[in-house]
Amino acid sequence: MALLSVDELSITFTGRGRRDIKAVSGVSFDVDQGQVVGLVGESGCGKSVTSLALMGLLPDRGVRLGGRAEFDGGDLLTMSQSRLRDLRGSQIAMIFQDPLSSLNPVVPIGVQVTEILSRHRGLKGAAARKEAAHLLDRVGIPDPTRRLKEYPHQLSGGMRQRALIAMAVACAPRLLIADEPTTALDVTIQAQILELLKELVDEEGTALLMITHDLGVVAGLCDEVNVLYAGKVVESAGRRALFEAPTHPYAHGLLGSIPRLDAPRGEPLKPIRGSINDRIDWADGCAFAPRCDSYTLECLSGAVELTEPREPAHHVRCVNPVLPAADVVGADVADADVADAADAAGADVADAADVASESPVAAAKKTEAPS
Amino acid sequence: MSLLELSDVQVHFPIKKGVFFDRTVGHVYAVDGVSLSVEAGQTYGLVGESGCGKTTLGRAILRLVDITNGEVVFDGTDLAKLPPEEMRRQRSRLQMVFQDPLGSLDPRQNIESTLAEGMEAHGIGADKAERRERILRILDKVGLPENSLSRYPHEFSGGQRQRIGIARALALEPDVIICDEPVSALDVSIQAQVVNLLEELQEELGLTYVVIAHDLAVVRHISDVIGVMYLGSLVEEAPSDALYAEPKHPYTRALMSAVPIPDPSVEDDRERILLQGDLPSPSSPPTGCRFHTRCPWKQDTLCDTERPVLTDLGDGHKVACHYAAEIAAGTVVRAGEAADEDDAKEGREPASVVAP
């Protein structure tokens, strides 16, 4: 039994006289002790709202929750507020994206850290202060006793994030939810924070739910990755499996569209066309279909289920998954044909390369049915 | 002769105190002696972390902030000394694309009016009809539909807004476009669209770019030459590929090793150079080499007393480090490599010099 088991979580925002907005629809994943699970997606895919729902931080009004989120024998979604208050901070803790706005600006760091210690661990006075200093030291804040007296604005961005992490780990939580913990930070500081999170997971066996848009961060940190698009998991796999063979066209496209520091220069990026606004309802078909290069009519004929097209534990929600290059010998030929045709038509070479660099499936389709 | 040449550009912001009489109590040394040259048709990438002065430098080129000292020579004229009216006229040749695509567009101005404003100011296009025709051509170039003309910024998505920003810059037919974090506010799938657009436009129109960004991978992708900034000055400048293949300045090395790469097999085997601490305040920069307080390769001599200058080590690879050659040769090693793990954590143990 996993530590946190989210089953068919759905979050709908409702409002009088307004159309319901399905932010998350049917997301399931498990997080085990000592495991790092990633929720990856672009803005508006529902990743942050998922974390808020798990923490019970969404307002009661105007939000409809569905599904279950089992943690330690209870359902986080239906749990009473008082029980949640006991869990939050002690068993489950959260790190937010913006370290400045998640700290109280008019209260010294020390008071904010000791607050948690006295609420959940019953520490008071000097003992609490000592423990707080110890915590700040643990997350790598130099001169912790002096820092305890300082206010958030006196700390640098990296230091604030460290203070937040110190507060999050104050009671040795079993589950840590990190919502874009490094997005607001510079890369060198990001590296420090990621290293710290890795240490926590390795040493304390904390389960970490990592919410991020940065695939680079995921590649270095997560064990399991769930890629979200428009409120649904479109691909979930172990990290190596996902990066070696991204199978959903969205995940595939996402990896193709990031410039890599170690890639040779000069090749144009392969962007995903359109934007997240071009989507259809999941009930009618694949929400990604309008932006997808390999969509067919089948994609638009009803809901698409998660399947395991290639190997177990690699789930993909797609009727035309991207196949690894070796499997599509035919498509290579088609690629060449397209390039030849373009050359013959007098188009310049860059254009031909453009066409050929589309996903093999798409290129194959174009030659089959030039519509 | 390069199209754009900066020599020893300094931008210092005074720190004022007092209610009635502004006393200057110090300066923020945002840009402190930067010299670089940008060739026509090329892309110069400026990278660095927040607070390193890259944005200020970009704005200084356009004189959107006052230059304290130094020269900005564009096509033979020193922009830093031009009278305001002549500078205004020069601006049609130097345009800027800003980071925040929504914040840099007037919410009450439709796209046609936004794009036509600059044209009117610079007398491009004889009448409204001709300007509209030009605008339509530009919209087509940046991939926006014709019906955008009468629409307002809020009706567009983030990526489209950035296209409008680019179109506005293109409307004046500039030679140089300074792009300040052109894609950092966009989602990754959209980033690639805008990066590709910038590259296509450069090829088609022969534009010269100065791209300012914190994302090393993006900069590497589109730049011919990259300058790495730290605390107001350039620490390394090299052709894009050379810089990546062999970063020579300790800061560049640390920066490169900190950038996550979306490939687990690469990530697992990578060596991270973790820097200690944070960026020092630009109002009281460290003596000597600006980076010596965080440098894992710091030596006992020179580093904290003498400020290194950018020196060419061959093939246009310029580094501002006293020990760049020794570090490259391996005769000067990092603190962590020589000392024990525990010592490395403690921080700045002076690196030991191993005799060659």
The residue extents of the domains of chain B are 1-93+177-269, 101-173, 286-356
**Do residues B109 and B97 touch, judged by C-beta distance below 8 A?**
no
Burial class (CB in 10 A: 0-12, 13-18, 19+), B85: exposed
Contact A265 B216 (CB under 8 A): no
Q: How far is CA B253 from the centre of its chain?
A: 18
Amino acid in position B226: I
Contact A259 B159 (CB under 8 A): no
How many whole angstroms separate alpha carbon A172 and alpha carbon A210?
17
Give the DSSP letter of residue A72.
T
Q: Provide the shortest C-alpha distance from residue B214 to chain A (in Å).
A: 8
- Whether the pLDDT of residue A187 is over 90: the answer is no
How many whole angstroms separate alpha carbon A209 and alpha carbon A5?
12
Residue A338 parent element (H or E)? helix A329-344
pLDDT (0 to 100) of residue B337: 63
- Whether the pLDDT of residue A233 is over 50: the answer is yes
A317-333 average pLDDT score: 64
Domain boundaries, chain A: 1-91+173-281, 102-170, 329-371
Which of A137, A138, A188, A193 is most worth mutating to test chain B (most B CB atoms within 10 A of its CB)? A188
pLDDT (0 to 100) of residue A357: 41
Rg (CA), chain B: 22
**Using CB atoms, which residue from B188, B254, B265 is nearest to A258?**
B188
**Using CB atoms, which residue from A42, A240, A276 is nearest to B264?**
A240
pLDDT (0 to 100) of residue A301: 86
How many whole angstroms separate alpha carbon B165 and alpha carbon B103?
10
Contact A220 B214 (CB under 8 A): no
pLDDT (0 to 100) of residue B336: 63
Q: Provide the shortest C-alpha distance from residue B140 to chain A (in Å).
A: 16
pLDDT (0 to 100) of residue A77: 93
Position A40 confidence tier, pLDDT thresholds 50, 70, 90: very high
* DSSP bridge partners of A27: A9
Domain A1-91+173-281 CATH assignment equals 2.40.50.140: no
Position A310 confidence tier, pLDDT thresholds 50, 70, 90: confident
Contact B264 A214 (CB under 8 A): no
Contact A219 B264 (CB under 8 A): yes
**Using CB atoms, which residue from B240, B258, B267 is nearest to A188?**
B258
Of A142-151, A322-331, B99-108, B242-251, least confident by mean pLDDT is A322-331
The larger pLDDT score, comparing residue B63 to residue A364, is at B63
Q: Is the ipTM of this complex over 0.90?
A: no
* CB contacts, 8 Å: A254 with chain B: 188-189
- Whether the pLDDT of residue A79 is over 80: the answer is yes
Q: What is the DSSP string of A232-297?
A: EEEEEEEHHHHHH---SHHHHHHHHHS--TTSPTTPPP-PPPS-TTS---TTTS-TTGGG-TT--G
Position A368 confidence tier, pLDDT thresholds 50, 70, 90: very low
Which of B50, B55, B261 is most worth mutating to test chain A (most A CB atoms within 10 A of its CB)? B261
Of A73-77, A296-300, B346-350, least confident by mean pLDDT is B346-350
Determine the 3-state secondary structure of B42 from DSSP.
coil
A4-20 average pLDDT score: 91
HSE at residue B231, side-chain half, CA atoms within 13 A, is 20
* CB contacts, 8 Å: B278 with chain A: 156-159, 189
* DSSP bridge partners of A138: none
Contact B258 A272 (CB under 8 A): no
How many whole angstroms separate alpha carbon A306 and alpha carbon A26?
11
**Do residues A76 and A35 touch, judged by C-beta distance below 8 A?**
no
**Using CB atoms, which residue from A218, A257, A261 is nearest to B192?**
A257
- Whether the pLDDT of residue A329 is over 50: the answer is no
- The residue behind tokens 């509209």 is B132
- Whether the pLDDT of residue A365 is over 70: the answer is no
Q: Provide the shortest C-alpha distance from residue B263 to chain A (in Å).
A: 6
- The residue behind tokens 């948690």 is A116
**Do residues A114 and A171 touch, judged by C-beta distance below 8 A?**
no
C-alpha closest to that of B201 among B139, B283, B277 = B139
Structure tokens at A10: 């759905």
Position A354 confidence tier, pLDDT thresholds 50, 70, 90: very low
Q: What is the CATH code for B1-93+177-269?
A: 3.40.50.300
Mean pLDDT by 10 residues, chain B (356 residues): 92 86 86 93 92 91 92 93 92 91 91 94 90 94 91 90 94 94 87 92 95 91 94 94 92 91 87 83 89 90 91 91 89 67 42 41
Residue A63 parent element (H or E)? strand A63-71
A92-124 pLDDT per residue, tens:
999 988 888 889 999 999 999 999 999 999 998
Burial class (CB in 10 A: 0-12, 13-18, 19+), A189: buried
Rg (CA), chain A: 23
Residue A23 parent element (H or E)? strand A21-31
How many whole angstroms separate alpha carbon A238 and alpha carbon A315?
10
**Using CB atoms, which residue from B188, B217, B221 is nearest to A42?**
B188
In B, minimum Cα distance to A43 occurs at B187
**Do residues B220 and B240 touch, judged by C-beta distance below 8 A?**
yes
Contact A195 B217 (CB under 8 A): no
Cβ-Cβ contacts under 8 Å between A and B: the total is 141
C-alpha closest to that of B173 among B211, B143, B208, B128 = B208
**Using CB atoms, which residue from B160, B256, B261 is nearest to A216?**
B261
How many whole angstroms separate alpha carbon A64 and alpha carbon A59?
10
Contact B192 A159 (CB under 8 A): no
**Using CB atoms, which residue from A217, A259, A272 is nearest to B217?**
A259
Of A45-54, A138-147, B74-83, least confident by mean pLDDT is A138-147
Q: How far is CA B208 from the centre of its chain?
A: 14
A279-289 average pLDDT score: 89
Contact A215 B262 (CB under 8 A): yes
How many whole angstroms separate alpha carbon A55 and alpha carbon A149?
29
